[in-house]
């Protein structure tokens, strides 16, 4: 079982969103547990503040070290106890991950890495972020969803949890879905169609209507290669770096490009 702990000021938001679809079913089946820890529980003083004005001035607020570090420690202790493994820095330890626009870009490789581990702590920031000393003392990795700024790390936490959990054995209705989707083999997914066979004058490609499995597989691979070449040439370049496309893939890609040229000109 995968164990995830999330440090957040809005545990309800997270719990509610986790109840649907693939994630909801994975929780029900006991494939994953998601615990939450709210820094407000650890706040002290008359106002039980979890944020303060930034030293040096300027707009916004900053997550205070006391309550945030205490919440991260509580989440890490629960994770360590449940997984029977240490949490923190060092090889083999379970990571405490801060979701941050300044982090390393999250991708399918990281999702696979997390899915094959025993668990991790996600820290969802708010305000201008957390006091830097918390990051220095309590965070092992920083992960970003991309070059944009969210108002809170909860949205990023949900995206990471969803991408990871769908990779767990038994999470998807059909295991093949996970093996065939975008990035699984370094390519984008092929186009999908369902009923009706004709819609607004557009027809489902003929090859998909017959039951010839080898031809369907060939067509799908060709489309996956072609659309990756068109939309994400960086993925094709990465494949080339890792030893290149095999002869069949290369000829399927050439075929796709030749067909596209005919369509464009004709």
Contact 10, 152 (CB under 8 A): yes
Q: Is 23 in the site for ligand SAM (CB under 6 A)?
A: no
Q: Is 129 in the site for ligand SAM (CB under 6 A)?
A: yes
Instruction: Pick the piece of the chain touching ligand SAM (CB under 6 A) from 4-12, 120-128, 133-141, 217-225.
Output: 120-128
Q: Decide whether 54 or 186 has the Cβ nearer to ligand SAM.
A: 54
Q: How far is the CB of 10 from ligand SAM (least distance, A)?
A: 12
Angle (nearest 5°) at CA 109 between 173 and 130: 105
CB-based burial, 59-93: b 16+ in 10 Å, e otherwise? eeebbbbbbbbbbbbbbbebbbebbeeebeeeeee
What six digits make up the tokens of 125? 């920031």
d(CA 94, CA 86): 6
The correct pick among 54, 82, 93, 128 for binding ligand SAM (CB under 6 A) is: 128
Q: Is 67 in the site for ligand SAM (CB under 6 A)?
A: no
Instruction: Label residue 30 left, alpha or beta by phi (over 0 means left) and psi (-120 to 50 means alpha).
Output: left
Work out whether the CA dihedral 178, 184, 187, 188 comes out positive or negative: positive
Q: How far is the CB of 52 from ligand SAM (least distance, A)?
A: 15
Q: How far is CA 128 from the centre of its chain?
A: 23
Chain residue whose CB lies nearest ligand SAM? 125
**What does the per-residue mask of binding to ligand SAM show for 81-110, with x meaning CB under 6 A?**
------------------xxxx--------
**Beta bridge mates, 219:** none
Q: Decide whether 15 or 141 has the Cβ nearer to ligand SAM.
A: 141
Q: Residue count at the site for ligand SAM (CB under 6 A)?
A: 19
Residues 142-171 interacting with ligand SAM (rule: CB under 6 A): 144-146, 148-153, 156
Contact 184, 220 (CB under 8 A): no
Q: Decide whether 59 or 266 has the Cβ nearer to ligand SAM.
A: 59
Instruction: Pick the piece of the chain touching ligand SAM (CB under 6 A) from 11-19, 25-33, 119-127, 185-193.
Output: 119-127
Q: Which residues bind ligand SAM (CB under 6 A)?
A: 99-102, 124-126, 128-129, 144-146, 148-153, 156
């Amino acid at each position: 079982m995968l164990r995830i702990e999330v440090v957040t000021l809005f545990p309800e938001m997270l719990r509610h969103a986790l109840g649907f679809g693939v994630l909801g079913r994975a929780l029900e089946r006991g494939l994953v547990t998601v615990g939450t820890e709210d820094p407000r529980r650890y706040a002290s003083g008359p106002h039980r503040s979890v944020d303060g004005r930034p030293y040096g001035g300027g707009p916004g607020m900053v997550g205070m070290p006391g309550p945030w570090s205490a919440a991260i420690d509580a989440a890490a202790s629960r994770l360590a106890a449940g997984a029977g493994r240490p949490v923190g820095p060092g090889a083999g330890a379970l990571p405490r991950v801060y979701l941050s626009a300044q982090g390393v870009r999250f991708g399918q490789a990281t999702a696979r890495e997390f899915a094959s581990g025993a668990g991790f702590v996600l820290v969802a920031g708010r305000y201008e972020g957390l006091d830097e000393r918390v990051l220095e003392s309590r965070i092992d990795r920083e992960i970003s969803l991309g070059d944009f700024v969210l108002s809170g790390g909860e949205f990023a936490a949900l995206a990471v949890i969803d991408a990871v959990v769908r990779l767990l054995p038994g999470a998807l209705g059909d295991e093949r879905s996970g093996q065939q989707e975008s990035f699984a083999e370094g390519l984008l997914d092929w186009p999908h169609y369902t009923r009706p066979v004709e819609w607004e004058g557009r027809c489902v490609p003929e090859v998909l209507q017959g039951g010839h499995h080898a031809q369907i597989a060939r067509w799908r691979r060709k489309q996956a290669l072609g659309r990756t070449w068109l939309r994400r040439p960086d993925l094709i370049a990465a494949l080339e770096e890792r030893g290149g496309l095999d002869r069949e893939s290369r000829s399927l890609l050439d075929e796709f490009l030749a067909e596209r040229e005919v369509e464009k000109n004709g």
